[in-house]
Structures are given as C-alpha cells and as structure tokens.
Structure 1
C-alpha cells in the first residue's frame, strides 16, 4: 500500500499544470515527506470541481456511516472497491491526489528487518496525480463536516513488484492525458487497474 508521498510544487506550478485555481493558497501543503497516518491535507481535484485545487481534504477517508473519525482508510483496493462498505457508495466521487513523488520499501529479508527505501516518480511528468475517492463526513454529535480522501491501489507492475516485494501493490498513478478520464464518473474504475492500465515509473534508492 502507499502511505508516504512528496509534494514540492508551489502554487503557480500547480495552477499551470492542472489549469485550475487553488482555493486557499495560504493552506497549500508542500513537503518532501508526507506521512498518510498523520492525515495531511494534500491538495486534490474532485470530479465536481475540476477547475479548483482543494486544500481542505485530509488523507484518510471516513465513510458516511462512521460514528466517529477514528475510522479512516488511507488506501482503497481498486479491484474490490465496489464491494467494500467504505467505498461502494462513493466510487463516483473521484479525485486527483497531487504529488511529485512517493515512497516504498524493499524488504531484504522475510521479516523486513532490513529495508531499502525508494523514491518513485512518474517518468512522464514532474508533477503527477494518483487516482482517489473522496467523501464528506458529518460528525453525528457536532454536525461538523470533514472532507476526506483515499488513494486507490492496484497490483504492482514489474518495477513496483520488485520494490514493494512484501505486498506487491502500488498506487494508481495517472498519466496527464488520463486525468480527465478518471474524473469522469461514467468511466469504470476497473479500467485503471493493472495490467489494463499502467504508466512508466522511475525509482531511486535513497537509503
């Protein structure tokens, strides 16, 4: 699964790359290392507003039926998302999760006591996006609305099968040309699962 990303692009670069405006520039998150378990507000674009880059969605989707915000999903298995209670009612709620890189670890032994860390990027675009789902959760006690998202994952391609050798999964990285297709709710999500869908990635061992 993918839980760690990088987002180094500044506001002007993102607005030019996605032909969209950032909703709150002062809230734009940039960091060389984003930990999904900290539920950061990574910039995303939704199918409802493709010309707006949102900065108020936190990583870790809370399903509408959750009684509290302790239940969060960082990843959604794209092959079975339509079957899972957390996702089956929101597979039309598509989003682009913006990044300049992500991180995975290669296990050198069965227990993962020795690991090599890799930074992975799109081989096509310096700024790219992952496929994701988003949701609005209403706190049943306070009425507070939280905007959240999850990242779609699929079976690993050859490169990621080597790097992520203990899980053999990878995030669904989109090509620039296919971003609007992903945002189109009429497109089947399974069309973006490997091996039907794949783009070239590059990786560098950093530790």
Structure 2
C-alpha cells in the first residue's frame, strides 16, 4: 500500500513539468515527508481540469454518499483489481487524477511480526517529479454545506523489487512512467492496462 510520500519539488518546477498552473499558490504543499493519515491537500491534476494543479484535494477519499468525513481513513489507497466492485470507487472510475510526488516510502519487515523494519525511499528512475495514478471525488457536509474534495492513490500487485521491499503486503502504488500521464487521465483507457504486470513502472528504491 502507500501511506507515506514526499512532494519536495518547488511550485515553479512542478508547473513547468506538467505544463499547468497552480490554482492557489499559498496552499501549494511542498514537503519531504507526507503522512496519509494527516489527510493533507497534496497537489493533483484532474482529468476535468488538466491545465490546473489543484491544491484543494485531500489524501483519503470521501465518497459522495458517505455519512461522514471519517470514511477517509479507509480510502487512502484504491486497489486497481477491485475499483469496479468496491462501492467507494465503482461510480468514479472516470474521475481520474495525477497525484504529484517526488518519492514514496515503504518498509521491509525484517522479522515475522514486523517489530524490526528497514525503511526504503522509492524514486522514479527518470525524473525528480512524477505522478501516481489516482481517483477523486467530492463530498458535501450536510450540516455546514461545505464541499470536501479528496482522492485515493491507486495500487497494484508489486513488481519484483517491491515484493522484496514491501514484503508483508506485496502491493505498490501505480507510479506512472513519464509520458503516460495523459493516458491515465483518459477514462476511455481501461484501468486494467495500468495493473502489473501489464504496466511496469520505472522506479528504484534505496535504504534510508
């Protein structure tokens, strides 16, 4: 799974890389360590507005039908194999987004119960900036009327490298290869085309 990431690239560089403009520069998140359970507003690009880098989408998807915002603790990730089955995602398969990042973190268990772990930081082989495949939705608080925008990072079966690193789960987020961002945003392309082993990310992990 993916619960820890970094987005440490400056706003100007991110804008140039994705050929898009940040909607609210004061809210642009730049951090060496982002914890999913803090539900930060990580910058994303939606397929609805591909020229805008949005700063108003929080990590941890809250479906439009959810009773309350606490649902988000269950939806930091979306398993690609069950997107079309799970109630949280089956109606938003066309709501695709790019989750902007510079790396992510996983731990290798060194014993059976995970009491001893080795931390790894995983990077894209080709760039300091990349995007995860993501899904997004909006939820309205029935009491305040406030609209809450959120997203999930899509995960797939781990490749050989990540099976070694993430040995207790065998999963990995879908790190899009450079040049494949528009293909993911196009919902006419089946999500299955981005699952491992059909889709193989160019990533590398280092002990930290």
TM-score, normalised with respect to structure 2: 0.98
User: How many residues of Structure 1 are paired with residues of Structure 2 in the alignment?
Assistant: 206
Q: CA deviation at 1:147?
A: 0.4
Secondary structure in 2 matching 1:112: coil
Q: Aligned partners of 1:200, 1:185: CA distance in 2, in Å? A: 23
Match of 1:143, SS state, is: coil
Q: Deviations over 1:94-152 (max 9, x none)?
A: 00000000000000011000000000011111100000000011112222100000000
Residue 64 of structure 1: CA displacement? 1.1
Match of 1:174 among 155, 162, 176: 176
Write out per-residue CA displacement over residues 54-107 of structure 1, whole angstroms, 9 at most, x where no aligned residue. Answer: 001000000111111010110000011110000000010000000000000000
Q: Aligned pair 1:148/2:150, yes or no?
A: yes
Aligned residue among 185, 188, 203 for 1:186? 188
Matched, 1:10 2:10: yes
In structure 2, the partner of 1:23 is 23
Rounded Cα–Cα distance in structure 2 between residues aligned with 1:76 and 1:130 = 12
Q: Which residue of 2 aligns with 1:158?
A: 160
Asked whether the equivalents of residues 119 and 207 of structure 2 are also in contact (C-alpha less than 8 Å), the reply is yes
Matched, 1:87 2:89: yes
TM-score (norm 1): 0.98
Aligned to 2:118: 116
Instruction: Spell out, residue by residue over 1:29-48, the C-alpha distance to the aligned partner (whole angstroms, 9 max, x if none).
Output: 11110000000110000000
Are 2:177 and 2:202, in contact at CA under 8 Å, matched by a contact in 1? no
1:140 & 1:192 partners in 2: Cα distance? 36
Q: Distance in 1 between matches of 2:203 and 2:196?
A: 13
Separation in structure 1 between the aligned mates of residue 26 and residue 144 of structure 2, nearest angstrom: 27
Cα deviation, 1:136-183, whole Å, max 9, x if unaligned, reads 111122221000000000000011000000000000000121100000
Task: Give the root-mean-square deviation of aligned CA atoms.
Answer: 0.6
- Tell me which stretches of 4 or more aligned residues in structure 1 moved more than 4 Å: none
For residue 106 of structure 1, what is the aligned residue in structure 2?
Answer: 108
| Structure 1 partner of 2:56 | 56
Please give the secondary structure, in 2, of the residue aligned with 1:58.
strand
